[in-house]
Amino acid sequence: PIQKDPKLRFVSLSRALLCDSSVIMAAKSSSITLGGKGSAFSSSSVYKVASGVANVVIDSAAFERFSTKSLQLIKRSSFGIPEGLTNEEIRASLVVLLNKLLLSNSGSSSPFSSTVRSVLPVKILEILNSKNESFDFGEIEVTEGENVVLEKSWASLIGLCSIIDHKSTALSQIVDSVAALSCEATKGDITSFSSLDSGDGFGCKDAISVAGDLKVLLNGSKAVGKFDIEEISKIPRIHGKFRDVVRSLHSDARIELNSGVKGGKTGSGNSGVGEALGATLSALSKPIKSLGECSFLRAKLCFESIGNEDLRNLLFEKSSVEYENLKNDLKLAYDALFEEDYCGFAQKLNESIGIVWRIVGLEAVAAFSALSGEKKTNDEDKEKKSKDVKKAVLGKGTSVVIQFIKDNGGGGDKMEPLSQWVEQILNLFNPEGHSFESFLAKVKEIVESNDSRRLPKLPKGTRDFAEAQMVIREKAFAIIQNVFKKHGATALDTPVFELRETLMGKYGEDSKLIYDIADQGGELCSLRYDLTVPFARFVAMNGITSFKRY
């Protein structure tokens, strides 16, 4: 039934229209629902709305919380979104602002819980779902509480952080597979990757994780291991640090996306959101530069293996331009940070992330071309290349990546312009491209699969003692043993573990000589009496083909 109060009637009609329209919108594209009880907003949701692939729906329960009182209104010229933002960044700002209005109206503890009306959220909702390329907000009238939310929400900064978070997270999942292609193309030595995990718990976890993923991608490769290349040795630590700071940004972005506007009883005062997010983003700026620079240098090494001079020159020119753009953008970003222009800093950092994406994409094109995807101008060259490819044995993971690139435009057409062919491959590494999600899924499938490509790992709290460690260990043990001998002690050698059946009083030939160990790390470990299983794992982890032991 229609309410008698005109304000309540407006709310009821709005709810009905939005519920009906949400059904239509859901049929055409995905939708993001805001304002629901217990719901959580994420950076990926912000990015979907910002990039126009998802519509926004306000939960029907949120309309019941809007104020219907007659309140004094204040005129504003805009929503407070800074000038110079791209359409994607403006849409991100608007959807964050919409969520902040809903959060500020969701609890009695909020100083604005009784002053946010439905008019402003509905207006923002219409703008977001209209898919307009231009944004003319015009003059708006707001209540005092709504005005405080617009002034103190930091919606644009949080929206920019969400975009950066989403793009950086995706980049951290893709860049290792591209680096693995470069390892193959440059024939770089990756034995240093195994030395990162000493087993004493003091290694960099993210660097160790990156090294593990690279070894999975390169498992079975006969191309790597020929040259000691600095740009290859750097990969685990540079990529690992990038993962670390991206994880920190993701945590901060999630907190701010799901927090209402903070301040005094009236929302006055500085809650420190700008300074806090500025500090988080500043920690990301250096790893972004290092990631882009390392990718550019690896690409230059791959260029040397490309026989097609036109393609080599084209890729070198594009990569050099992008690298210079990266350095210039980061300089402008640091200037904005120094002036405490946190939105300006975040915007330049967002541009820098986009540039690094293109640099990584160009590295992938270079490595792919050097290995098997070089575009040919005649059938003779193509036949010669096919013979060379047969000789090269690539890693099980990298070979899958190369085949995926071939199947999605990397195979090329003899009559197709080089620039167009390059752009087709680059589109696979564009977060907004149609094939990106399938490429990301393919990389995750390779790295996360638990089959023969997955190398074994050390149980928690244990370590292997290789040659160098054994020399130190033997000397230390000799000193300790001499101390005991001087005090009249004698040696006794017994098994550390006993058979489970023996401990339980069960004897017989059917007893299996397997030791089950419940360690403090939560993993179920077993030990065979002759230690062949631990030795086999050690050989597999370190890629040893010939080994003398006692």
Tell me: the pLDDT tens digits for 165-190? Answer: 999 999 998 999 999 999 999 999 99
The DSSP bridge partners found for residue 515 are 527
pLDDT digits (tens, 9 = 90+) for 317-338: 999 999 999 999 999 999 999 9
Residue 8 scores a pLDDT above 50 = no
Q: Per mean pLDDT, which range of 133-137, 387-391, 408-412 is the poorest?
A: 387-391
Which of the two residues, 208 and 459, has the higher pLDDT score? 208
Query: What is the per-residue pLDDT for 532?
Result: 56
pLDDT at 241 over 90: yes
Tokens of 193: 């990757």
Output the pLDDT for position 184: 94
Q: What is the DSSP string of 298-319?
A: HHHHHHTT---HHHHHHHHHHH
Q: What distance in Å separates the CA atoms of residue 259 and residue 149, rounded to the nearest whole number?
A: 12
Q: What is the mean pLDDT of residues 213-230?
A: 89
Q: Is the pLDDT of residue 511 over 80?
A: no
Q: Which residue has the higher pLDDT, 401 or 241?
A: 241
Lowest mean pLDDT among 54-63, 214-223, 515-524: 515-524
Joined tokens for residue 391: 């000789």
Cα separation, 195 vs 438, whole angstroms = 33
Strand partners, 114: none
Closest to 436 in 3D by CA, of 408, 417, 406, 416: 408
Stretch 454-468: mean pLDDT, rounded?
72
What is the overall mean pLDDT for the chain? 80
Q: What phi and psi values does residue 379 have, to the nearest 5 degrees? A: -65, -30
- Residue scoring higher pLDDT (522 or 486): 486
The first and second tokens of residue 282, run together, are 């500043």
Lowest mean pLDDT among 28-42, 149-163, 357-371: 28-42
Q: Which of 65-79, 139-153, 376-390, 427-441 has the highest mean pLDDT?
A: 139-153
Share of the chain above pLDDT 90, in %: 37
The pLDDT score that the predictor gives to residue 475 is 93
Confidence tier at 490 by pLDDT (50, 70, 90): confident
Task: Report pLDDT for 515.
Answer: 54
Predicted confidence at residue 362, as pLDDT, reads 94
CATH number, span 158-260+273-374+394-448? 1.20.200.10
Instruction: Tell whether the model's pLDDT for residue 389 goes beyond 50.
Output: no
pLDDT at 85: 92
Residue 77: predicted pLDDT: 74
Q: Which of 325, 321, 358 is nearest to 167 (CA)?
A: 358
User: ∠395-205-547 over CA atoms, to 5°?
Assistant: 50
State the CB neighbour count (10 A cutoff) for residue 471. 11
So where are the chain's domains? 30-153, 158-260+273-374+394-448, 467-542
Say how far apart CA 409 and CA 212 lie, in whole Å: 29
What single-letter amino acid sits at 350? N
pLDDT of res. 495: 54
Segment 479-496 mean pLDDT: 80
314 token code pair: 């084209």
> In 10 A of CB 40, how many CB atoms?
9
List CB contacts of 212: < 8 A, sequence separation 6 or more: 455, 457
- Which residues in 65-97 are b (16+ Cβ under 10 Å) and which e? ebbbeebeeeebeebbbbeebeebbbbbbbbbb
Q: Residue 251 in contact with residue 428, Cβ under 8 Å?
A: no
Q: Give the span between the Cα atoms of 241 and 237, in whole angstroms.
A: 6
- Least confident range from 262-266, 304-308, 490-494: namely 262-266
Q: Is 495 exposed, middle or buried (0-12, 13-18, 19+ CB in 10 A)?
A: exposed
Q: Which of 245, 277, 285, 280 is nearest to 153 (CA)?
A: 277
Lowest mean pLDDT among 151-160, 374-383, 434-443, 485-494: 374-383
- Give the whole-angstrom CA distance, residue 206 versus residue 247: 11
Contact partners, residue 28, CB within 8 Å, separation at least 6: 55
The confidence score (pLDDT) of residue 419 equals 84
Per-residue pLDDT of 283-315, as tens digits, reads 999 999 999 999 999 999 999 989 889 999 999
User: Which pLDDT tens digit goes with each residue over 118-141?
Assistant: 888 898 998 899 877 777 667 788
Q: Lowest-pLDDT range, 2-16, 327-341, 420-434?
A: 2-16
pLDDT for 89 beyond 90:
yes
**What is the per-residue pLDDT for 506?**
44
Q: Determine if residue 515 is left, alpha or beta; phi over 0 gives left, psi from -120 to 50 gives alpha, anything else beta.
A: beta
Main-chain dihedrals φ then ψ at residue 340, nearest 5 degrees: 60, 30
Amino acid at 274: G
User: Residue 227: left (phi > 0), alpha (psi -120 to 50), or beta?
Assistant: beta
DSSP secondary structure letter of residue 136: -
In this prediction, residue 325 carries a pLDDT of 97
Q: Take residue 531 and report the two structure tokens written for it.
A: 């230690």
308: left (phi over 0), alpha (psi -120 to 50) or beta: beta
What pLDDT was estimated at residue 342?
A: 96
Q: How far apart are CA 58 and CA 122, in angstroms?
A: 9
Residue 145 pLDDT level (bands cut at 50, 70, 90): confident
Residue 134's CB is within 10 A of a number of other CB atoms, namely 6
More confident residue, 262 or 484: 484
Q: Residue 13: pLDDT band by 50, 70, 90 thresholds? A: very low
Residue 505 has pLDDT above 50, yes or no: no
Spatial contact of 273 and 256, defined as CB atoms under 8 Å apart: yes
Interacting residues of 158 by C-beta distance below 8 A, sequence separation 6+: 96, 253, 256, 257, 273, 277
